[in-house]
């Protein structure tokens, strides 16, 4: 159950542990009254008298009611917890739209804990996860997609994901969605007007005009849905598995891509017994690189378990790099791996190109024609890695929508809503083409409009809000 909106909420907004500074936020109708009990500006002014959005130095004190009892220690009546910088942001010009007080004090857990306790004793309650942003949404400061983009900004794994999150936070996706929704509503209005005055036999809109309008809406929605594939990868990251028999250089390749020495590299076959995962940015795409156990025939139960996990990791992967040792002839293990992989998800990588060749690119291309190109690399000499990164990117970003103009849909909830809207519009289009009843067309268009409204939060339920804001941290 969610707390009342007229409560004053407070929370530590900085991560737990020691830090240079720690920030506490207070928000609500009575934020200033509550905070004034523990924050005493050095200038002698009251908190209410401070200029909005201007920082000032203040003593942070235990409130009069708790002085003497903080953590059971005997304290003087007006015990000073810390010296802090304080900023008052008067509503509606604040993040939540309410009166907000932010306190920057020293980032020690006890300082923050005592300040927080002081605020609670003064009448605030602890904020729930995402409650500040939820209030920003409810007060109309942010729409729902923008509120979600706040979380995306915090969670962005690469510079590219951050750029997309920021564009969504500025409302670019919301604007596009609202434009499409308004077209759907226009089409719906035409149909409903025709229904209302149907008896008078007035044609409110030419059929061809309606067909054209619905087609244009459908194309825009289609583009958004298609962008979702790549958008999702940019947001959540892709999984790229490195497969190959022992000793072909899987760990060396992982290290080369990580540019560090996370995995253990040894010349003894079969050392990587388990699945290792690392997050890297490959040309702006967050990628979980999975180094798997060498896949070969074995009687060793521990190694066999590693191989089983490798196969699982590979099945979950968006792309699998099949690594082969170019300094050796193709082995039976290589052949069986090549024949067991689905070509669409595979990039063939020929390693150890610094050594004399036993296996050529042409030979490999002839052997597995369905697998597309082959990339030559040397993991230890760091050769061919840019080409490999480029090939991985192209394989992940298949439609190329990501690099073109226009907004991207990155969030599963938005992708789902766009898909439902597209289905509604396509069904309406079909009904118009088949000269079916206007009521039927209207139902499908209403479904489409509502689905789009869910993205920005024009249409929403407590359930949706609960799901979205519970993912936030406390203090955001
Ligand atoms: P894994 O079992 O597939 O993970 O293979 P490793 O990464 O442990 O490498 C096995 C051996 O091959 C090590 O001795 C590496 O130094 C060597 N190796 C890996 N990549 C290359 C390469 O590009 N060139 C050469 N010359 N040796 C390599």
pLDDT tens, position by position, 74-129: 555 568 889 999 999 999 999 999 999 999 999 999 999 999 999 999 999 999 99
217 touches 397 (CB < 8 A): no
Q: Rounded mean pLDDT of the chain?
A: 86
Instruction: Tell me the pairing of strands 319-325 and 285-291.
Output: unpaired
Contact between residue 56 and residue 50 where contact means Cβ atoms under 8 Å apart: yes
How far is the centre of ligand 1, averaged over its atoms, from the C-alpha of 379 (Å)? 7
DSSP assignment letter at 97: S
Range from 72-76, 146-150, 211-215, 274-278 carrying the lowest mean pLDDT: 72-76
Predicted pLDDT at 323: 94
| pLDDT of 223 higher than 50 | yes
Which pLDDT value is given to residue 475?
82
> Of 203, 13, 220, 201, nearest to 104 (Cα)?
13
* CA 327 / ligand 1 centre spacing (Å): 11
Residues framing ligand 1 (Cβ under 6 A): 244, 246-252, 265-267, 272, 294, 351-352, 354-355, 378-381
pLDDT of residue 310: 67
Nearest residue (CA) to ligand 1, atom 14: 267
Tokens of 379: 């993991």
Enter the pTM of the model. Answer: 0.77
Mean pLDDT, residues 223-244: 89
Cα of 234 vs centre of ligand 1, distance in Å, is 30
Which range in 292-306, 328-342, 376-390 is most confidently predicted, on average pLDDT?
376-390
What pLDDT shows up at residue 1?
A: 44
- Banded pLDDT at 375 (limits 50, 70, 90): very high
Give the residue whose CA is nearest to atom 27 of ligand 1: 352
8-state DSSP, 406: S
Query: Distance between CA atoms of 62 and 411, rounded to whole angstroms?
Result: 43
Q: Ligand 1: which of 256, 296, 331, 380 to mutate, most ligand atoms within 8 Å of CB? A: 380
- Give 335 or 122, the one with higher predicted confidence: 122
Percent helix, strand, coil in the chain, to 5, is 45, 15, 35
Residue 289 CB contacts under 8 Å (≥ 6 apart), including other chains: 240, 242, 254, 257, 258, 277, 278, 279, 280
Which of the two residues, 170 and 340, has the higher pLDDT score? 170
Q: Which of 257, 327, 379, 382 to mutate to test the pocket of ligand 1 (most atoms within 8 A of CB)?
A: 379
* DSSP for residue 71: G
Cα 268 to averaged position of ligand 1 atoms, centre (Å): 10
**Separation of alpha carbons 252 and 195, rounded Å:** 69
Give the residue, by CA position, lying nearest to ligand 1 atom 24. Answer: 352
Residues in the chain: 476
pLDDT number for residue 366: 78
Residues 6 or more apart whose Cβ sits within 8 Å of residue 196: none
CA of 253 to the centre of ligand 1 (A): 8
Distance 371 CA to ligand 1 centre (A): 23
**Per-residue model confidence as pLDDT tens digits over 23-47:** 999 999 999 999 999 999 999 999 9
Q: What spacing in Å lies between the alpha carbon of 168 and ligand 1's midpoint? A: 43
What does the DSSP 8-state code read for residue 14? S
- Give residues with Cβ within 8 angstroms of 200, minimum separation 6: none
Confidence at residue 224, expressed as pLDDT on a 0 to 100 scale: 94
Instruction: With cut-offs at 50, 70 and 90, classify the pLDDT of residue 269.
Output: low
Phi and psi of 311, rounded to 5°? -65, -40
Query: How are strands ordered across the β-sheet holding 125-126?
Result: 39-41, 55-61, 80-89, 100-107, 19-27, 9-12, 125-126
The torsion region of residue 24 among left (phi > 0), alpha (psi -120 to 50) and beta comes to: beta
Distance in Å, CA 252 to ligand 1 centroid: 6
Listing DSSP states for 286-352 in one string gives EEEEEEPPP------HHHHHHHHHHHHHHHH-SEEEEEEETTSPPPHHHHHHHHHS-GGGEEEEEE-
pLDDT tier for residue 70 given thresholds of 50, 70 and 90: low
At residue 73, the pLDDT reads 60
**Which of 249, 255, 264, 353 to probe ligand 1 with, by most ligand atoms within 8 A of CB?**
249
Q: pLDDT tens digit string along 134-165?
A: 999 999 999 999 999 999 999 888 888 899 99
């Amino acid at each position: 159950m969610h707390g009342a909106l007229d409560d004053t909420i407070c929370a530590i907004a900085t991560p737990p542990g020691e830090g240079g500074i720690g920030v506490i936020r207070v928000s609500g109708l009575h934020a200033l009254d509550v905070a004034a009990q523990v924050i005493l500006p050095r200038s002698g002014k009251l908190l209410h008298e401070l200029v909005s959005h201007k920082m000032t130095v203040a003593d942070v004190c235990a409130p009069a009611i708790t002085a003497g009892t903080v953590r059971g220690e005997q304290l003087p009546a007006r015990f000073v917890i810390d010296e802090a910088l304080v900023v008052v942001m008067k509503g509606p010009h604040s993040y939540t739209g309410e009166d907000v007080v932010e306190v920057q004090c020293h980032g020690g857990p006890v300082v923050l804990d005592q300040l927080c306790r002081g605020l609670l004793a003064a009448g605030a309650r602890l904020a729930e996860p995402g409650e500040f942003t939820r209030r920003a949404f409810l007060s109309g400061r942010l729409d729902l997609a923008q509120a979600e983009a706040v979380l995306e900004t915090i969670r962005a794994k690469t510079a590219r994901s951050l750029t997309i999150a920021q564009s969504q936070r500025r409302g670019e996706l919301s604007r596009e969605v609202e434009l499409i929704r308004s077209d759907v509503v226009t089409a719906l209005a035409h149909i409903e007007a025709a229904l209302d005055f149907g008896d008078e036999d007035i044609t409110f809109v030419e059929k061809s005009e309606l067909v054209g309008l619905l087609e244009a809406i459908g194309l825009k929605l289609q583009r958004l849905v298609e962008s979702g594939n790549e958008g999702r990868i940019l947001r959540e990251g892709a999984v790229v598995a490195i497969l190959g028999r022992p000793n072909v250089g899987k760990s060396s390749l992982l290290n080369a891509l990580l540019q560090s020495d996370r995995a253990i590299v040894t010349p003894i076959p079969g050392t990587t017994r388990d699945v290792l995962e690392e997050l890297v940015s490959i040309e702006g795409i967050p990628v979980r690189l999975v180094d798997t156990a060498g896949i070969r025939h074995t009687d060793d139960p521990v190694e066999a378990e590693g191989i089983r996990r490798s196969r699982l990791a590979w099945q979950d992967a968006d792309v699998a790099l099949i690594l082969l040792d170019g300094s050796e002839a193709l082995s039976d293990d290589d052949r069986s791996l090549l024949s067991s992989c689905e070509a669409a998800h595979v990039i063939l990588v020929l390693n150890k190109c610094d050594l004399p060749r036993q296996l050529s690119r042409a030979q490999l291309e002839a052997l597995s024609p369905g697998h597309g190109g082959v990339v030559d690399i040397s993991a230890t000499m760091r050769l061919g890695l840019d080409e490999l990164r480029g090939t991985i990117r192209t394989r992940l970003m298949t439609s190329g929508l990501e690099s073109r103009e226009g907004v991207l849909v990155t969030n599963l909830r938005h992708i789902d809503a766009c898909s439902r809207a597209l289905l509604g519009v396509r069904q309406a289009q079909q009904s118009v083409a088949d000269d079916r009843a206007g009521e039927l067309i209207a139902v499908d268009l209403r479904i489409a409009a509502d689905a789009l409204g869910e993205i920005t939060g024009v249409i929403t339920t407590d359930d949706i809000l609960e799901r979205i804001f519970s993912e936030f941290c406390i203090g955001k």
